[in-house]
Amino acid sequence: MFRILKQNLFSNFPGALFQTTTFILLLLLYLVARVISWILRLPIISRFISPKLSTPLHKVYSKAVKVFDYKRNKTISRINLIELAIRNMQSKSTRTTVTIGGMMIGIGSIVFLVSIGYGLQELVVTRVARLEEMRQTDVSSQAGGKAKITDKTLNDFSEISAIEMSLPLIAVVGRVNYQSSVSDMAVYGVTSDYLRQSAIQPSTGKIFDSNEIVTDAGSIVTEIMGEKADNIFDVRGEEIRDVTFAIDSGTWLKVRADATTDSEILGYTKKVADSISGSEVWGEKYVSDTDAGTSGKTKDDVILGKWVKTSVLLWKLESCDPESQGDCEDGTHMVMRGEDGQQLSLEGYIAEIGMTIAEDGAINSSTVLGDTTEISGTTDSNGTSLEWVEIASESGEVTTEKTKTVKLARSAKREAVVNRAMLQVLGITENEAVGKKFTASFVVVGELLSDSSEKIESSPAEYTIVGVTPEEKTPIFYVPFMDLRTLGITNYSQVKVVVKDKDDLSATRHQIEAMGYVTRSVADTVEQINSLFSTTRVILAVLGMIALGVAALGMFNTLTVSLLERTREVGLMKAMGMRSSEVQELFLTESMIMGILGGLLGIITGFLAGKLAGLVLSLFAVFQGVGYVDISYIPASFTVVIIILSLLVGILTGIYPAKRATKISALNALRYE
């Protein structure tokens, strides 16, 4: 068979390859049948398995043998040739055992070293990434680039067929106040799906339930600090923001019990201070010189106006004489006094007429050349009012940086998932954290806003801790995405894109990067790890090949010595009619059997050695709180490669002795001493 393969490699390569393959399969079939037969004869097994089972197994084996051991123009069948080779090996059992043992050590060394390489790779990769993360990539804007992540970006991503979901994230600074202690830390506005896809699992409590990225009305409230958008739906009585305002000099304003034009008039007020604090709310529409009286509408298209809710000093409308009546103002209004004799101050609603609303806490005053004016609402770090000396320019205007203060929407869930590092900063134990409340305000700056020069800070709001994550490095907490979105944020910090199949990740990333964005994925790290360990496995395999080379030389020596000892036996077989090609196949069969057995035992030995090394290492890891560490792993494909390698070593080491056996003369062999 092997002679045919060698002589007709080019002229009859398919036929020779077929004969070689069928002979190897027949050899493997015979060895498997011998192992099964030995197992069935064991006393423990034979008690539970009826002897009748061996009959159908024998029939299956006989049919399979006929398929591979087809009739040939030779003196001995293939199956008899294999049995003869095994008898010859059994006659020299000590030598055969040593030879197979050397092969086992060589193959076992390769399996052990390479399995350590595979095991360490699997250990590192599983610590770095989960299976789900191999389908994910984080998308962010390029530094200084024009492409921002907006609602349109999410819509564009949804049109890519390979993408399963796009989960946006907003990163801001949070100012946390707990028991009079203020700390700044990172805050992430995310959806529940984002937390799940990121494998953020609370060790205590749960994550919040919020996957909304737009309002129920289908738009985000952008009526913040005077910016108006179409299709905004407001609710009557809902607070818009905290404001500071100044009443125009010489103007009397009506103070009503409700934000409607027909509600009770509590009294009148005028300018008595440079600035007054209050809350801007939605109320009934009214006629005004600006759009303040008709700047909003409800879902049912009912027009709304802006009102200011505040506490002010009150006068009543009444004709009077300032000279004779001390409480008379301008001859038209009388001071309203309470039972204690002090001027009455009540909370009421004032339409935004005859007043100046402060922009970001600072009321703009008229500029006078060389005049010193106090800018109400502008304070230094100590809370002291600052005075500005304005020097007139050609424009007669001075621009100052301003901070806008807004309130969280009523729909905000005000729930937070915090980490252990944050609890340590706040001084809260993990067991008592769930249900605790803290106050937080959010600072939004830079590219998250439509105007990068703006700065928004939300009014302090009370948040409830619903879950705690085990992360202990940097204090952070997560809040529902919509809690931050309604502050007026138009651009997002990044988007987590999840593809349907990990094989589509690379092409999807290229497509997203072509749109002007930057992508990052754990797959990049895993690829680098795989590349590093691929090189490591090659080095380990080369070291193992040294031991295999020594074992191959031992097998070659054994077969050569066996040939010399069996010279008379070879001559006798030839004299009885066995052909030289069959003698060659006999020696090759012996070498292949020793190679296969050595390979199988080597796989088992290398596997057990790897598991033992992992067990020893785990003994130390347990004391460090890490737990069991498995550093050995053998892929099925690698097992097949080792079996093929063992078979090739058996063939290569047996070619020379088998070739020499064909050249032995039967007459000379019978006379050989």
Q: Say if CB 450 and CB 404 are below 8 A apart.
A: no
Q: What parts of the chain have a pLDDT lower than 50?
A: 1-2, 4-11, 216-232, 360-401
Residue 405 to residue 501: CA distance in whole angstroms: 44
Instruction: Output phi, psi for 438, to 5 deg.
Output: -140, 160
CA distance 53 to 488: 78
In this structure, are strands 476-480 and 181-190 parallel, antiparallel, or unpaired?
parallel
Gap between the Cα atoms of 499 and 515, Å rounded: 17
Angstrom CA distances, 128 to 134, 200, 202, 444, stand at 11, 14, 19, 32
pLDDT of residue 143: 76
Alpha helices in 346-480 (DSSP H): 420-426
Cα angle 41, 45, 50 (rounded to 5 degrees) comes to 80
- CA terminus-to-terminus distance, the chain: 30
Spans of all domains in the chain:
1-60, 71-128+527-670, 148-219+406-515, 239-358
pLDDT for the residue 200: 84
Among residues 247, 240, 244, the alpha carbon closest in space to that of 281 is found at 240
Q: CA 85, CA 594: separation in Å to the nearest integer? A: 10
Q: What is the pLDDT of residues 259-277, one digit of tens each?
A: 998 999 999 999 888 888 8
**What confidence score (pLDDT) does residue 217 get?**
37
Alpha helix (H) ranges present in 214-341? Answer: none
pLDDT at 180: 80
Q: Supply the pLDDT for residue 417.
A: 94
Question: What pLDDT is recorded for position 625?
Answer: 63
Query: What pLDDT score does 393 carry?
Result: 32
Of 475, 480, 490, residue with least CA distance to 195: 480
Helix 522-565, helix 580-623: angle, nearest 10: 140
Q: What are phi and psi of 364, to 5 degrees?
A: -75, 125
pLDDT recorded at residue 423: 93
**Residues 279, 282, 285, 287: what is their CA dihedral angle, to the nearest 10 degrees?**
30
CB 199 within 8 A of CB 132: yes
This prediction has a pTM of 0.54
Res 264: pLDDT: 92
Cα–Cα distance between 524 and 329 in angstroms, integer? Answer: 76
So what's the pLDDT on residue 176?
A: 92
pLDDT of residue 220: 39
Amino acid at 119: G
H helix count then E strand count, the chain: 16, 25
Do residues 561 and 657 lie in contact, with contact meaning Cβ atoms separated by under 8 Å?
Answer: no
